[in-house]
Amino acid sequence: MKYYSTRKKSQEVSFRNAVIRGLAPDGGLYFPERIEKLPDGLIGCGKSIEELGFEVAKRFVDGEIPEVNLEQIVSETVNFPLPVVEVETDVFSLELWHGPTCAFKDVGGRFLARCLEYFVKESGEKITILVATSGDTGSAVAAGFLGVQGIDVVILYPKGLVSKIQEQQLTTMGQNISTLEVEGSFDDCQAMVKQAFNDSELRAAMKLSSANSINVARFLPQSFYYFGSYEKLEDKTKPVVYSCPSGNFGNLTAGMFAKEMGLPIAKFIGATNANDVVPEYLRTGVYTARPSIPTISNAMDIGDPSNFVRILELHGGNWEKVKESMVGYAFSDEETKGGMRDVISRTGYLMEPHGVIGYMAVKEYQKNHDVQGVVLETAHPAKFGDVVEPAIGKKVDIPERLQEYLRREKVATLIQPDFDQFKQFLLERI
């Protein structure tokens, strides 16, 4: 199986090289040359997420990781609960936050890390992963790589611009994870990472890689839980829609891949905050990237969603076809707060600011469609306690695995947003 770049100006590569490279050299995203349907007798037959995930992964990895190893990788990727909770009639919450960092990104992070570990072991290379984070992504990626041999991770985060709990997660892992606290913005962090990839001296000295959601090994495994959750729905006759609180639209794209593979999903709902370029595209047929707007569901503050090109690619670039497969809704911060209050007071179920946007979108869609809606609940409410608590007027319990981070001692190197300082730091580590 080959992977081509969505810009079609780079060579096709193997799964291995697509994973190691992350982004194609022409700036496009890697895309598999085909998406195979799963054979009859797999979907809707009560199989486990491990079995289904393996069947999916095998078709994309296509022999580049031996089946025994791949089976192990898949089972370690989803070795925590991914329950489907009924919030009310015909609305279900797929809780994706039972992993080590309480965010759905654990799934992609774990799969990517284990695939890279396999490839690095095979070749004896050492890889340094650079991750710029605005708060949430860095910890899931780093936790995925924690203790993985042959791979070092360097995280960059903007000083003072992440929450206490996020900072503790970013700065206390130790082992092969090191953290730089940058006296600047997230954009400064990202700019330094980009510059590092373009620096010939650094590239000659060390093998650099990235781990953001453009990587095929980060977004593909997210399809596993679409298959897994579908098995748990009792009613297989009423149409099912999946609602994804979206930023870069990796989660939603993974669902579209699951559908291509045969999972009977009637519609996708792309739910956003004020950063609504995709709902706007669905309305007007025009895609206009713009700078992101800060909101209380900040993991979705994306003004130019990276996976949108994959959605286009799946639908031959055709607006009508995209509109057949998905709808979009956007919600303000006020609606988000009101939504959290409303869900807990009516149903007793607590949602956080991202998931609740997906929930409100399902309710909107159900006004005109008789369907079951599955909402991807992408994080634990305690990760966004400073937003959730005032909205619902109650304290949120912090799960033990988050409290554990709060007890540890922060270790981070403070640097200026200055590329030479960053480069020096990297070179000293070889």
Interface of this chain with ligand PLP, residues 7 to 66, rule: CB under 6 A: none
Binding of ligand PLP by 114 (CB under 6 A)? no
Is there binding between residue 100 and ligand PLP (CB under 6 A)? no
Q: CA separation (Å) from 356 to 250, 252, 384?
A: 18, 16, 12
From the list 77, 213, 273, 295, which residue makes contact with ligand PLP (rule: CB under 6 A)? 213
- CB of 193 or CB of 300, closer to ligand PLP: 300
Neighbours of 124 (CB within 10 A): 7
Compute the distance between CA of residue 130 and CA of residue 207 in angstroms, rounded to an integer: 11
Instruction: Name the token pair of 372.
Output: 């079951």
User: Is residue 250 within the footprint of ligand PLP (CB under 6 A)?
Assistant: yes
Give kind and range of the element (H or E) at residue 207. strand 207-210
Measured CA to CA, the distance from residue 334 to residue 25 in angstroms comes to 41
In which residue are the tokens 């956003």 written?
272
Residue 103 sits in the site that holds ligand PLP (CB under 6 A): yes
Count of all residues that appear for the chain in the document: 430
Kindly identify the residues of this chain, within the stretch 251-270, that bind ligand PLP according to CB under 6 A: 251
Collapsing DSSP states into helix, strand and coil, what is residue 206?
Answer: coil
User: According to CB under 6 A, which one of 340, 344, 378, 396 is a site residue for ligand PLP?
Assistant: 378
Q: Which is nearer to ligand PLP, 21 or 354 (CB)?
A: 354
Q: Are 277 and 304 in contact (CB under 8 A)?
A: yes
Q: Does 379 bind ligand PLP (CB under 6 A)?
A: yes
Task: Report the candidate in 407, 386, 408, 406 with the shortest Cα–Cα distance to residue 396.
Answer: 386
SS3 82: coil
At residue 399, what is the residue type? P
**Least distance in angstroms from the C-beta of 68 to ligand PLP:** 30
DSSP for 315-372, please give it.
TTT-HHHHHHHEEEEE--HHHHHHHHHHHHHHH-----TTHHHHHHHHHHHHTT---E
State the minimum distance, in angstroms, from the CB of residue 80 to ligand PLP.
16
The one among 5, 246, 292, 295 contacting ligand PLP by CB under 6 A: 246
Closest to ligand PLP by CB, 16 vs 354, is: 354
Interaction of residue 375 with ligand PLP, rule CB under 6 A: no
Q: Which residue has the tokens 């730091």?
A: 425
CB-nearer residue toward ligand PLP: 250 or 417: 250
Binds ligand PLP by CB under 6 A, chosen from 4, 15, 60, 249? 249
Does residue 273 touch ligand PLP according to CB under 6 A?
no
- The residues pairing with 414 across neighbouring beta strands, listed in sequence order, are 181
> Which listed range, 20-28, 86-94, 119-127, 244-252, lies at the site for ligand PLP (CB under 6 A)?
244-252
Which C-beta is closer to ligand PLP: that of 289 or that of 414? Answer: 289
Q: Is 248 in the site for ligand PLP (CB under 6 A)?
A: yes
Query: Of 2, 8, 105, 232, which one is the catalytic site residue?
Result: 105
The nearer residue to ligand PLP, 16 or 310, going by C-beta atoms, is 310
Is residue 373 a contact point for ligand PLP (CB under 6 A)? no
Is 363 known to be catalytic? Answer: no
Of 181, 354, 402, 426, the one binding ligand PLP by CB under 6 A: 354
Q: Is 277 in the site for ligand PLP (CB under 6 A)?
A: no
Per-residue mark of binding to ligand PLP, 117-136 (x: CB under 6 A): -------------------x
Sheet holding 240-245, edge to edge: 84-88, 91-95, 372-377, 240-245, 267-272, 326-330
In this chain, which stretch among 156-164, 243-251, 395-403, 421-429 interacts with ligand PLP, using CB under 6 A?
243-251
Residue 299 found at the interface with ligand PLP (CB under 6 A): yes
Structure tokens at 158: 């903007």
Environment class of 296 (CB within 10 Å of its CB; exposed 0-12, middle 13-18, buried 19+):
buried
CB nearer to ligand PLP: give 10 or 248.
248
243 binds ligand PLP (CB under 6 A): no
Asked if residues 246 and 104 have their Cβ atoms less than 8 Å apart, the reply is no
Q: What is the dihedral of CA 384, 395, 373, 230, to 10 degrees?
A: 80
- What residues are labeled active site? 105
Residues near ligand PLP (CB under 6 A) are 103, 105, 136, 213, 245-251, 299-300, 354, 378-379
